[in-house]
Structure 1
């Protein structure tokens, strides 16, 4: 009795480049949404202009020359290059991790969101010399949380997913 031979395309392992594509696509979507939102806000608002949306949320055009929470924002410009270099180094490391762990979905979701957010802010630093922020949450009596953007949100969600994935992995052992 003869055995049936499987077609070559069925048994061929997926290439590493193909396994990266979903994660690069997710990062690209984050970058696209981030940049489109920043283009929109800079078209509609002047620097410092604010529009109340709800009792706890405003849109405001703010420029951040520093890092998170405007850390080092008043240091004369060198921080732009430092934060760009750090972000690009992180993206290189993320690409390495994505190639190595392409099958770990939650881990890769987290990394792709972080990478997309980091690159979204790098684009701002290189194009404008600062990051464009516009989401302003506040609570009466507690003041305003520092303004942020879609890229920052993606980085935060990615970090939360990363922690969740690590806690889940530790609990399995």
Structure 2
């Protein structure tokens, strides 16, 4: 039982850290640097800050054009976050708990934006010359993506013994 508590705490600590870093960096971009929407700040030849207001979810899917759609997206992502909390609460594997923490922290960061601002603030642009393999994203999006990838990779490539094999 103590091991489950440690795993659970670690997952929620990862979520809290992701959420705090995401919101802190967004505050700096929006208020500290006061980066205007659609203005570009080149950081590296392959990386720049480029603030966009994302009214939908990934790749323009489910764009929230009005308040009803916006709150439906809040409810949808909130329901997903609740499901992740339940999964994390029962998770015994530390890597999976950390991955779920990444997903939860990212989801909460984007939900906070949508409730507070009416959109999700995206500002990270990774590019290779004129090639932009990724849409503009934020820390929360990166955490969600990494968390989901970790979960998928573990599900596909890591064999865990069945309950009957443990005995």
Change (3 A) 1:143 1:161: closer
Counterpart for residue 64 of structure 1: 54
Q: Kindly state the Cα deviation for residue 165 of structure 1 after the two structures are TM-superposed.
A: 1.1
Counterpart for residue 98 of structure 1: 88
| CA RMSD of superposed structures (Å) | 2.2
Change (3 A) 1:18 1:107: closer
CA contact (8 A) 1:136 1:144 kept: no
Match for residue 51 of structure 1 among 16, 41, 57: 41
Q: Is 1:81 matched up with 2:67?
A: no
Extract unaligned runs of 5+ from structure 2.
163-167
**How many equivalent pairs are there?**
160
Q: TM-score normalised to the size of structure 1?
A: 0.82
Paired with 1:170 and 1:136, the residues of 2 have a C-alpha distance of 36
Counterpart for residue 114 of structure 1: 103
- 1:6-38 CA distances to partner (integer Å, 9 max, x unpaired)? xxxxxxx43966652221111000000000000
CA contact (8 A) 2:53 2:122 kept: yes
Counterpart for residue 168 of structure 1: 157
Whichever of the two has the greater Rg, that structure is: 1
Counterpart for residue 141 of structure 2: 152
Paired with 2:131 and 2:141, the residues of 1 have a C-alpha distance of 21
Counterpart for residue 165 of structure 2: none
